[in-house]
Structure 1
Amino acid sequence: MNNLEEEKLMQLKGEMFENLQINQENYSDNGYVQTLVDVIRKVLEIEHIHFLISKELYKDIQYIVKVKHRYISIIDPYNPMDQQYCESLIQSNEYNKKIILNTAKEELIGYIFLKIEIDSFSSQFWDDFTHIIHHYFKQVFQILVINNEKRRYRLLQSVTNQLHSSIDIDAVLRKVLESLKEIYPNFYFTLQLSTDDFKKSDLSIETLDYTMENSPAMECFLTGNYRIEDDINRKESFMYFPLKGKQGIYGVLHIHANQSIIISEQDIEFIHILAQTAGNAMENARLYQHSKQLIKDLKLITNVSKKLNSILKLTDLVKYIVAELKNSFNAHEAGIVMFKEEYCEVLSGSTTYFYNEDCKSLLHEVKQVLLTKKEGLFLGDVNQSQYRFTSIPYASIMVESIEQDDNIIGSIIVLHQQPYYFSFETFKLFRSLTQHSSLAFSNAILREELEQLVITDYLTKLYTRNYLDDEMKQSMERDTQGVFLLIDIDNFKKVNDTYGHQNGDKVLVQIADIIKEKLITGGIAARWGGEEIAVYLPNYTFEEGMHLAHEFVQLIPKKSKPSVTISCGVSYWSIHQPESPLTLFKKADEALYEAKNTGKNRMIANI
């Protein structure tokens, strides 16, 4: 090798490594190639140059370089197609010299293609030239790897700080995906999560498919270990990393590379740490959100309990609970049902669906389930359940029992049209609200039963005289007219003497039941004293009152056993003919006295 060749090599080495030393802290992704090309073109006085670098040598930085340089290509020297590509380059007019790049151990690491007008350099020169180039690549790659490691861990530290200070799961996942895309711009990332809470998110998120039991994603999720797979036919690579926290695994980070790759241990470790950091951050965010929800639920239960204890009337209680259930669970329907021996009584204040005819099968089935299994009912989809609710337009159902003295006396039901609308957490809150409501219901029912005892006659279950007086006073202040009937059983002493007082009481109860049955549409019946029964008909016309009195006179002898007749006196008031409860009673009493004295078994009016 002559002096000129030595000078060229010294100049080449000096300028390349000087630039490398100066710029190593801030070397750009492909600046090392440009520096190399510029120095070679200057020293050798050539225009065209191209590097073909072995994939094996390039693997440590293939994820670092973001922009492909026009002077460098990555090849597999032992691949027939890549070998054909090399041959095509040398056969073109653009290059006329191919230099083999070997390591000191004579391992093939690539080729250099040149366009040189006159090749006056010795073979020793070209050997030394390739060693310098190889050494330069090794130095550059080391610098790039080190710099990238620094950049990755600076980013990892920044991401970790941000993730652990965030309570927004969406923000956590967004930061993870952005960080990965910054480090690995040529990869595609998808988060496959174990819940479907992010359907409306604009992030690349999917719900983990539990039906694919043998899929790599499910294996990664179940074992907590990462998986790497290559599709040889399509020349693609897939990686799966678990999003793992301290208490569980929350999904899988799916990475897709549209080329067959060899990923370094450093990259695997980095992605694994980032995925685990994301899993911990998701766990922390979920725990925080869960604690917030628990606090919200506790506040709701506390507020409902306070309100329940302040409501005295059963109808007001039902209206409040139904409104609270609809609002808290965004339910379409909410109802409260009391279980009777032969039927289910829907309490006033329940939503309209519970009064429909097609709801009866649902109420009957609910009653049977609660009384048989002694546990609530939580169905995500009625159509997929073992229970046969006939043609109900709702899919999601929550049911809990109302209990009194350890006995199930009714149920609270919540419905939604959408399948699987209520979560199990929602059901637990629903159960808590129902348990608190049960005590309030028991108290309200006992209170109303006590009030009913005060205002009703113990034998006939008709109202008392005092209650009827109060109702008449309110009606005369509120309504425009009304009719008063005073009924007396004819020859009742004879019934007692003939059949005994016990049978006499039964006759009195029979007549009371007949009267109550006729008053379903309106009217108040009270035991006035002894065998006398009073009936007040608010807003009835005189003619309507007379018609009903005539029905009683005709009906009672037919339905009573032993058969008895009645006498009835009728009085009437209106805004044009005002009366007081006392004067109205006196007029009816006078009419009753006349009916008794003119043959009994009749009705007479006194207006």
Structure 2
Amino acid sequence: MIKMKNKTAQILNQLRMLFFQHMQNRKGELHDATFLETFLLDTKELLEMEEVTFFKFDEWKQQFYKEASTGSLHDYIMEAPVQEYIQLLWREQVGDGDGMVRMQAGALDIHVVIPLWDNGKVIGVTAFKEREASALSSLTLEEGSIFANEFTIILKTALSISKISDDERRYKQLFKVTEKFHSSMSRDAVLGEIIATLHTVYPTFEYFLLLSHDHDGHENLPIKELEYDSDNVAALQAYVSGNMEFEDQPSENQSILYAPLKGKQGVYGVLQVIAPKTLTFPKQEIEFISLLANTAGSALENAQLYQQSKRLVADLQLINEISRHLNSNLRLDETMEYMKRQIITSFHAEQVGFLTLDLDDAGAILSGSSDFFDSEGAGLYVSFLIDRLGSEKESLFIGDLRVHRPEAEIRYRSLMAVPMMKGDEVKGFAVILHTEAYFFSFEMFKLLQSLIHHSSMAMANSILREELEKMVITDHLTQLYSRGFLDEKMSRSLEKDEGGAFIMIDIDNFKRINDTYGHQVGDEILIQVANLLQHNIRDHDIGARWGGEELAIYLPCESLETGIRIAERLKDKVRDISNPGVTISAGVSHWGKGRPDSVKEIVKRADEALYSAKNSGKDRVHVHGVLL
């Protein structure tokens, strides 16, 4: 008997020596195999076993599942009837005390079981499969109880060390990923590291990122939108409260944890972790996932703040560049064209328009706007903007115009419009459009507001400058060009063109009109004739007030015949439309590259032809003294 006890003590001493030797060999380093698995291998060799497996007990399922094994029981799950059988044998063999349970021959592929107790409950069992002869087979019931008690103590220590090793591995992983978080300012990189870490630590779990903001969406990441009208109450509660939430799904045989990705300034999303085959989420994993989520939330916040700061710097640079460019005395059409190009580049707009408002709140399209705003299809958008902005000074940010105009056929659904102010007065507005609904972000809207605000003065100055220039070169009464402007354009034409026609016009008996009807009616007659002249020449032709009741037209690159034809047409129309009725006389001259000429000579020939027409009875057209 003493000899057998000595044999038991010898086995236990050898087991302890192997245990502590393994601890010494570790030297604080983690190995690929867990400490528990190594301990079971040592036990197997020492006791000359075929196989040793540790099963952990799942209270919810009421069954044991493999935690570590040395052989073929790797995937074995001990069903509830087996547990009941073991408990029955336990009561028969050891009663209420600790001990070693010997299985009946042929009952199971297990020969000996040593239960692991904690606070009066069995939390696991170590199952031994013997060879033909093993160290355990020769132990008595008393020796088996001694061995079981000592083995349990060593096993608990091995389990504790194994847990410490697992925790060490996890927290080293957390430390490494934290370093990566803080070395990256990319939002996608942070999200990718979260998923990669979870895959490493929990390879059997599932994960999803429920994000609250717009994202480019890395196609390899499991990203879902956090929808505010979703039925997923737990996810929304985690996002709103900033606290972890849990959702047990017995029907799906899984439990879900929702960890908020939280920074100092807010919550940026929720990490959804799904633990399969469990009723409640494993408590030992909650702290690690919480630390990972909090670290990731801070990293996301830093990345977002960094991106915001970069965007702000870029926006300020854009505003500064545009302001500098606009303040370089550009003409209005150049200013608007430059603004359109910058807006299309910065906002990816499909259509850009600049509209001015007159005293009656009627809109006029400025040059530089997209061609779309000169089409009939733009009327719907322009009328909508005039209705909304004509009486208000607020900018418009509309994600889907169909909501506001459901009865209309809307092509461009996204709209942003910003008033162009001069002091407290709305002088017009800039509008950008896109076919896709909700295309523009709120950050874009704020940038457009700032851009137009800083540019309004430059645009107003361009408009004012051109108005002043127009006043200088335009006759106030007739709105025709001045004589000086006509002389300048003719001089340039003589340098670059092949020829041109010049028409000098005089209103017949104009003094009699003034004497009979008064100077106000005389002014009306001048305006009528000037308007007729403007509507009967091309954009690049030049109509001017020569002086008094005399008007002039220069037709660059046109023949003498064309000049005569236009003069005749004007003569006939003036007789028909004037009220009170008047007539005109005209003299026409021409120049060509074939002979030397000057503005003075061209005007002199037309003036002589006009004098001839007046002396020949008026209401007619002459060319160099020839009556036509």
Per the normalisation by structure 1, the TM-score is 0.90
Say how many residue pairs are matched.
600
- In the other structure, the counterpart of 2:125 is 110
SS at 1:576 equivalent = coil
Kindly provide the CA deviation profile for residues 462-511 of structure 1, in whole angstroms up to 9, marking residues without a partner as x.
11111111111111222222111111111111111111122111111111
Matched, 1:600 2:603: no
1:38, distance to aligned residue in structure 2 (A): 4.8
Measure, in 2, the Cα distance between the counterparts of 1:86 and 1:472: 117
- In the other structure, the counterpart of 2:276 is 258
Going from structure 1 to structure 2, the CA distance change for 1:130 and 1:556 (only over 3 Å counts) comes to same
Measure, in 2, the Cα distance between the counterparts of 1:67 and 1:542: 110
Contact preservation (8 Å) 2:205, 2:275:
yes
Matched, 1:291 2:290: no
Structure 2 counterpart of 1:334, from 352, 360, 366: 352
Going from structure 1 to structure 2, the CA distance change for 1:95 and 1:562 (only over 3 Å counts) comes to closer
Partner amino acid, structure 1, of 2:385: V
Partner amino acid, structure 2, of 1:3: I
Structure 2 unaligned blocks of 5 or more: 89-102
Structure 1 unaligned blocks of 5 or more: none
SS at 2:528 equivalent = helix
- In the other structure, the counterpart of 1:247 is 265
- Comparing 101-110 with 265-274, which one deviates more in the overlay? 101-110
Going from structure 1 to structure 2, the CA distance change for 1:445 and 1:219 (only over 3 Å counts) comes to same
- In the other structure, the counterpart of 1:20 is 19
Q: How does 1:166-181 map to 2 (within 5 A)?
A: 166-181=184-199
Matched, 1:95 2:109: yes
1:528, distance to aligned residue in structure 2 (A): 1.0
1:343, distance to aligned residue in structure 2 (A): 5.1
Structure 2 counterpart of 1:376, from 395, 400, 409: 395
Partner amino acid, structure 1, of 2:424: D
Contact preservation (8 Å) 1:567, 1:600:
yes
- In the other structure, the counterpart of 2:9 is 10
Partner amino acid, structure 1, of 2:292: L
Partner amino acid, structure 2, of 1:583: E
Aligned-pair identity (%): 36
Partner amino acid, structure 1, of 2:446: K
Structure 1 counterpart of 2:537, from 516, 519, 527: 519
Q: How does 1:297-336 map to 2 (within 5 A)?
A: 297-336=315-354
SS at 2:412 equivalent = coil
Measure, in 2, the Cα distance between the counterparts of 1:48 and 1:508: 117
SS at 2:524 equivalent = helix
Structure 2 counterpart of 1:361, from 380, 405, 420: 380
Contact preservation (8 Å) 1:380, 1:419:
yes
Matched, 1:32 2:72: no
Measure, in 2, the Cα distance between the counterparts of 1:57 and 1:543: 106
Measure, in 2, the Cα distance between the counterparts of 1:547 and 1:299: 57
Kindly provide the CA deviation profile for residues 81-137 of structure 1, in whole angstroms up to 9, marking residues without a partner as x.
8658999x9685773745462638764343635446585543223323332332232
Q: How does 1:397-416 map to 2 (within 5 A)?
A: 397-416=415-434
Structure 1 counterpart of 2:182, from 164, 189, 200: 164
- In the other structure, the counterpart of 2:609 is 591
Contact preservation (8 Å) 1:240, 1:254:
yes
Q: How does 1:533-552 map to 2 (within 5 A)?
A: 533-552=551-570
Going from structure 1 to structure 2, the CA distance change for 1:447 and 1:286 (only over 3 Å counts) comes to same
Measure, in 2, the Cα distance between the counterparts of 1:74 and 1:369: 73
Going from structure 1 to structure 2, the CA distance change for 1:476 and 1:248 (only over 3 Å counts) comes to same
Q: How does 1:96-245 map to 2 (within 5 A)?
A: 97-99=111-113, 101=115, 103=117, 107-108=121-122, 109-110=124-125, 112-115=127-130, 117=132, 121-212=139-230, 214-245=232-263
Kindly provide the CA deviation profile for residues 324-344 of structure 1, in whole angstroms up to 9, marking residues without a partner as x.
111122222222222345853
Going from structure 1 to structure 2, the CA distance change for 1:549 and 1:106 (only over 3 Å counts) comes to closer
RMSD between aligned residues: 3.2
Partner amino acid, structure 1, of 2:218: K
Measure, in 2, the Cα distance between the counterparts of 1:599 and 1:423: 73
Measure, in 2, the Cα distance between the counterparts of 1:48 and 1:145: 23
1:512, distance to aligned residue in structure 2 (A): 1.1
Contact preservation (8 Å) 1:95, 1:113:
no
- In the other structure, the counterpart of 2:94 is none
Contact preservation (8 Å) 2:587, 2:608:
yes
Measure, in 1, the Cα distance between the counterparts of 2:437 and 2:540: 43
Matched, 1:571 2:589: yes
Kindly provide the CA deviation profile for residues 388-443 of structure 1, in whole angstroms up to 9, marking residues without a partner as x.
69545323222112223432222212222332221111111111111122101111
Kindly provide the CA deviation profile for residues 124-160 of structure 1, in whole angstroms up to 9, marking residues without a partner as x.
2332333233223211111112223333333333333
SS at 2:443 equivalent = helix
Measure, in 2, the Cα distance between the counterparts of 1:414 and 1:66: 65
Matched, 1:481 2:499: yes
Per the normalisation by structure 2, the TM-score is 0.87
Going from structure 1 to structure 2, the CA distance change for 1:440 and 1:390 (only over 3 Å counts) comes to farther
Kindly provide the CA deviation profile for residues 555-581 of structure 1, in whole angstroms up to 9, marking residues without a partner as x.
112211111111111111222355321
